[in-house]
Amino acid sequence: MRRVPFLTSGMCSVTYRPLSADRIVELAAGAGLDRVEWGQDAHVPLGDEAEARRVAEATRAAGLEVSALGSYYRAGVVTDPEEDRRVWRQVLGAARALGAPRIRVWAGNTASAAVDAAGRRRILDGLRRCVDSAAETTTDDGTGVTVATEFHDGTLTDEIVSARSMLDDVPGLRTYWQPPNGMPDEQALAGLEAVLDRVDGVHVFSWWPTPRERWPLEHREALWRSALAMVAATGRRIDTSLEFVPGDDPAVLSREAATLRRYLLDACAGDDAGRPA
């Protein structure tokens, strides 16, 4: 199987929340994917580090890598500092046990336009603490864990000026990117360009125009070819992960994975063609 030189093709385990972790591993390996982002809510529950280690072992035994822990930790939301620290310690423990090089977090739980100055400061302070403590948490290969925000409505990343400001205000913070629901392609791609230097992962799916309409990846071919060409042009290792598929159907994963790999290969080939010899 031909591999993309520096972009990885993977999946988020939340694609199939009802399925077991072992079945997720089987599906990802069978579809020829490289990596799995393990979701905390369904497959790597907080407080069960033994299960996290078991999932990690099963992932690697199948020839796959762990790309991240997809946590649902929301910075600046828990008002009790002790409780907030307790939950975050559990998130770090899960990431360490999983061997995850990155933790996905959420930038609050309120739309950026509705957050006042004090609320924004609280979220940013929380993100700084996450970044600093994660950097002190080492994986098996001795590297620190990075923190990346989900790119989602109802958080500080729901609008590109807010998202860029957040990233500028928190050194070391990374982000995911995904096309905002209902946003025209040109506007979505402009948003990607604005944060591209801080993007470490891309969540790949084809919803249009609302989350209720879930199409094959090819339905938004123009968007994804353009987005992946931009990502390829960075020359950095960036994880691309299928997040949702039509009908939540396991039977279509191989088809969607093949489409994603084709787009990645074409994007990297196009970037190589544009580089000086």
Q: What are phi and psi of 173, to 5 degrees?
A: -75, 135
Query: In whole angstroms, what is the distance from residue 39 CA to residue 21 CA?
Result: 10
Q: What DSSP assignment string belongs to 146-174?
A: EEEE---TTSTTSSHHHHHHHHHHSTT-E
The CA-based angle 177-182-183, given to 5 degrees, is 60
Position 100 in a domain: yes
Q: What DSSP assignment string belongs to 240-266?
A: EEE---GGG-GGGHHHHHHHHHHHHHH
For residue 83, the tally of other CB atoms under 10 A from its CB is 10
Position 1 in a domain: no
Position 2 in a domain: no
pLDDT bin (cut points 50, 70, 90) of residue 141 is low
Closest CA to 71 of 58, 47, 194, 266: 47
pLDDT bin (cut points 50, 70, 90) of residue 157 is very high
For 141, the domain range is 7-274
Residue that is written with structure tokens 């396991």 in the block = 250
Average confidence (pLDDT) over 177-199: 97
Q: Which two tokens stand for residue 77?
A: 């939301």
pLDDT bin (cut points 50, 70, 90) of residue 273 is very low
The verdict on whether omega for the bond into residue 209 sits within 30 degrees of 0, i.e. cis, is yes
96-135 CB burial, b ≥16 within 10 A, e <16:
bbbbbbbbbbbbbebebeebeeebbebbbebbbbbbebbe
How many domains does the structure of the chain reveal? Answer: 1
Mean pLDDT of the chain: 94
Identify the pLDDT of residue 274: 44
- Contact status, residue 70 vs residue 104, Cβ threshold 8 Å: yes
Between the alpha carbon of residue 90 and those of residues 46, 47, 135, 228, 234, the distances in Å are: 6, 6, 15, 34, 33
Percent of the chain with pLDDT over 90: 91
The angle that helices 253-274 and 21-30 make with each other, rounded to 10 degrees, is 50
Residue 36, domain CATH? 3.20.20.150
pLDDT bin (cut points 50, 70, 90) of residue 111 is very high
pLDDT bin (cut points 50, 70, 90) of residue 5 is low
